[in-house]
Structure 1
Amino acid sequence: MTVTRQPASHARLLSGYVVAYIVFLYLPVVLIPLFSFNDSIQAAFPLKGFTLEWYRTLLGNEAIAAALGNSLMIAISSAAVATLCGTTIAYLDVYASTPLSSVISGLSRLPILIPGVIVGIALLILVNLLGFGPSRLAIGMGHVLICLPTTVVIMRGRFSAIPKSLAEAASDLGARDFAVFRRAMLPLAWSAVASAFMLSFLTSFDEFIVAFFLAGAEPTLPLYIWSQLRFPKSLPVVMALGTLILGVSIVLATAAEILRRWQPSQAGGKS
């Protein structure tokens, strides 16, 4: 069999395209921390000087503190519910393998394919019909729907990597289904559970479109940032806030990826 090698010029062209794409994608993100230390309200070159004034302004801003509190409360609760539901759905999809579990698994991953605007409008109609209207509860419900595909995909991948013979051995030893899940499977999947929770937390914390439709009088942090973009004098403070969010997001996303890739020893599972 003859293998045809691509010319070196094609490889260089592809490498150049990838580099240009990465620069185009991430250069604006890099500029946000740069301008957050600029001693000017205008995000433009040349830089006027170095200052920490915009970060000090964040500490005394009660509106930012309230929006941050709303985002943290919604993100933690939504991530917890989505991780619990996603773990259950993925486990049943892998180990039960019934038509019903396959249908539920497919439906749980469907929101990732639906535009956020459609999801937001549909949920707004739903919460109005239920009678509690736009509120933090409504945002939390929407974020569970948005985060669920992430948790199902991560947990399904982890459960698929665990040999089914372990569950069969536990059943042969007399363990009931819930005991098999809690004492045999879950200890081998805890790192994936933590990864799913972290990514769900980031998804909920950064989500804007669904929150835009479902927010009441208590906006989340992304909604607060969007509202401040209309005022040029608030732009440096927004960039300082964005820099902090960016840093925390990078740390959590890196930790989540490390946990997702980490495979506990199968001998460490309890029988």
Structure 2
Amino acid sequence: MSTAAPAPRWLSGYVAGYLVFLYLPVALIPLFSFNDSIQAAFPLKGFTLAWYAGLAGNDTLRGALLNSLVVGLAAATVATGCGVTVAYAELAFATRFSWLVAGLARLPILIPGVIVGIALLIVVNLAGLGPSRIAIVLGHVLVALPTTVIVMRGAFAAVPRSIPEAARDLGAGEAVVFRRVMLPLAAPAAASAFMLAFLTSFDEFIVAFFLAGTEPTLPLYVWSQLRFPKSLPTVMALGTAILCASIAIAGAAEMLRRRGLRRLPA
């Protein structure tokens, strides 16, 4: 039995350096969020929870958090529903139209966020909506849709073809196959796609920057506070909380996706 050759030392060093470069700045945010100083610098002055305590009594922060939750849940619901439909149509029908729709659904992931934001701002102004919470929801649906399509396409593709074919042989129509066979098998992936879509919307800044009216989302609130040096420790405390929540949601989404794959028959 042949064994895989060990990775070259330079490759291991490159990966280690890349991980340090990528995650060390992120790790500094939680570190300085407990520092008893408004300056993000070494040496640390001491340990404090005051910056976290200050988050609880901030009404503006609470309003921005509520907006992000409402927008995220609405955008994730719509994006997941569209992603399920688009991904299933691409695999089940395999027509040029379904491929075109699926390709267009993935396209926003390749377009710079600034371009998407400007284009959406023009559209919502022409539609009479203007910058508003509804406009942010529509924009975040567009941004989150590629994630849901990719996740659901992988889930539907993992289902053995013999299962829907057997249902069709027994007389089930395409709608019944989708509703009673494919959708239950892909339900964990749909939950995973919903969580990732929510996370995408919750953390999104550029599109919200162009489409927000008088109700900013949480990333916009964080950006507005960066102009004030005394607010930096509070921003780092908030960033740490967001980071922990994002890791938890992403981890749960991945666990659901893998559990769904293990449920599929061989």
Q: Give me the TM-score of the superposition, normalised by structure 2.
A: 0.95
Equivalent residue number for residue 116 of structure 2:
119
Equivalent residue number for residue 77 of structure 1:
74
Secondary structure, aligned partner of 1:175:
coil
Equivalent residue number for residue 251 of structure 2:
254
Q: Deviations over 1:77-113 (max 9, x none)?
A: 1011000000000001011111111110011000100
Asked whether 1:245 is paired with 2:242, we answer yes
Cα distance between partner residues in 2 of 1:193 and 1:152:
10
Q: Deviations over 1:156-181 (max 9, x none)?
A: 01111112221121122222222111
Shift of 1:265: 3.0
Pair 200,243 (structure 1): closer, same or farther in 2 beyond 3 Å = same
Equivalent residue number for residue 34 of structure 1:
31
Equivalent residue number for residue 265 of structure 1:
263
Residue type of the alignment partner of 2:174:
D
Asked whether 1:93 is paired with 2:71, we answer no
Structure 1 runs not aligned, ≥5 long: none
Correspondence 1:118-267 to 2 at 5 A: 118-262=115-259, 263-266=261-264
Structure 2 runs not aligned, ≥5 long: none
| Displaced runs of 4 or more, over 4 A | none
Equivalent residue number for residue 52 of structure 1:
49
Check whether the contact 1:189–1:264 (CA below 8 A) recurs between aligned residues. no
Cα distance between partner residues in 1 of 2:96 and 2:258:
29
Residue type of the alignment partner of 1:203:
T
Residue type of the alignment partner of 2:115:
I
Shift of 1:256: 1.0
Secondary structure, aligned partner of 1:48:
coil
Cα distance between partner residues in 2 of 1:199 and 1:266:
21
Residue type of the alignment partner of 2:202:
F
Q: Give me the TM-score of the superposition, normalised by structure 1.
A: 0.93
- Give the superposed CA RMSD: 1.6
Q: Deviations over 1:42-79 (max 9, x none)?
A: 11111111111111100000000000000000001101
* Number of aligned positions between the proteins: 262
